Amino acid sequence: MSYEERYERVSTPAQPHVVERRVVETDPYAVDQVAVDSHTWSDISMAQVIHAIAGLFLIVIGCIAMARGGFNGNLTEQESQVLGILHSTAIGMVEVGLGLLLLIAALTPAAKAFGGFVGALLIVAGIVVVSASTSTLQDLHTERALGWIALIVGAVSLLAVFLPEHVVTRRHRSAIMR
């Protein structure tokens, strides 16, 4: 009994990410058996969902901080409390910017690495805030708790990069009469 194996990329508008593997068993005394494996990649990955949730969280927190702090003076000195954490309007603007970048990363599975990069930036910012001296925190008009939030959101965004993409496999067997 011999086998013939072919790989074909099947792409239709309904299923743009399908790869098929056909295995044909050829036996001169039997019916040929054809097995088709279809691998379909999902149009959305778990990393996209995580990046979107993290981005929306940062945008909401940043918008609340900007709305409460206002734009009537020095943006770094206008303080407000969001989730019990001291924010300035400038920090709220940075949070909104990073949240928008995470939302951009959530648009396509190909931008998964970009979401990880933004997560790494959040981790660095979180480390800076958590390790800052009391006088630096007073100059930034924030608290260490904000650094912990940045560390957590950044770590989750970075770890999302390593989640596998969803693949669905289907096997279909059919017989071919000679």
pLDDT at 72: 84
| Counts for the chain of helices (H) and strands (E), in that order | 5, 6
d(CA 69, CA 169): 52
List Cβ neighbours of 66 (8 Å cut-off, separation of 6 or more). Answer: 89, 92, 93, 96
d(CA 93, CA 69): 11
* Percent of residues, the chain, with pLDDT higher than 90: 34
d(CA 47, CA 160): 5
The pLDDT of 138-164, averaged and rounded, is: 90
Judge contact between 158 and 47, C-beta under 8 A. no
pLDDT at 1: 47
Q: What is the pLDDT of residues 53-69, one digit of tens each?
A: 999 999 999 999 999 88
pLDDT at 80: 85
Give the torsion sign (CA, 14, 16, 21, 22). Answer: positive
pLDDT at 100: 95
pLDDT at 18: 54
Q: Partners of 38 in the beta sheet?
A: 20, 170
Q: What is the pLDDT of residues 12-40, one digit of tens each?
A: 555 555 555 555 555 555 555 555 555 55
pLDDT at 45: 81
pLDDT at 19: 54
Put simply, whether the predicted model's pTM sits higher than 0.85 gets the answer no
Q: What is the pLDDT of residues 72-85, one digit of tens each?
A: 877 777 788 888 88
Residues in the chain: 178
Asked whether the predicted pLDDT for residue 5 surpasses 90, the reply is no
pLDDT at 176: 53
pLDDT at 112: 87
Exposure of 71 in the CB half-sphere (CA atoms within 13 A): 6
| Residue labelled with tokens 């206002």 | 70
Give the torsion sign (CA, 63, 66, 67, 69). Answer: positive
